[in-house]
């Protein structure tokens, strides 16, 4: 299947939308992949400057749900810190709606 999708690489690649077996977007078990994404599986993407971009919820979520999702994301990123990395791993956190202004979050509380 990747041979057929590979022709779209020039369009999907630069946008970060190219299917990839490592991220679970190419799988022989489509039903399980759809179920996982419906349950809330998210991809953590980062750009070349080290900024992490991901969704922690929707407008319909309660404030408590968004807070617990943010805490879990910070915990996952902190656990992923390589042992060879020295110093401060997460320097700052900002949260925003899709088209809204960002708000700084103090993670040292």
Digit-coded pLDDT (tens) for 27-46: 677 787 777 767 766 667 77
**Is pLDDT above 90 for 58?**
no
Which part of the chain is CATH 3.30.190.20?
45-109
**pLDDT at residue 79, rounded to an integer:** 86
**pLDDT at residue 101, rounded to an integer:** 93
Using a pLDDT cut of 70, give the percent of the chain over it.
Answer: 70
Report the topology of domain 45-109.
Answer: Ribulose 1,5 Bisphosphate Carboxylase/Oxygenase (3.30.190)
**Is pLDDT above 70 for 10?**
no
Full-model pTM: 0.61
Q: With helix as H, strand as E and coil as C, how does the chain read?
A: CHHHHHHHHHHHHHHCCCCCHHHCCCCCCHHHHHHHHHHCCCCCEECCCCCEECCCCCCCCCHHHHHHHHHHHHHHHHHCCCCCCCCCCCCCEEECCCCCCCEEECCCC
């Amino acid at each position: 299947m990747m041979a057929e999708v590979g022709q779209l690489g020039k369009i999907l690649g630069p946008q970060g939308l190219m299917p990839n077996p490592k991220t679970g977007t190419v799988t022989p078990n489509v039903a399980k992949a759809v179920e996982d994404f419906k349950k809330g599986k998210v991809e953590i993407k980062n750009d070349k400057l080290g900024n992490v971009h991901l969704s922690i919820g929707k407008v319909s979520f309660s404030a408590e749900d968004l807070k617990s999702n943010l805490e879990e994301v910070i915990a996952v990123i902190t656990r992923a810190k390589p042992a060879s990395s020295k110093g401060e791993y997460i320097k700052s956190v900002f949260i925003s709606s899709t088209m809204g202004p960002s708000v700084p979050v103090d993670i040292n509380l």
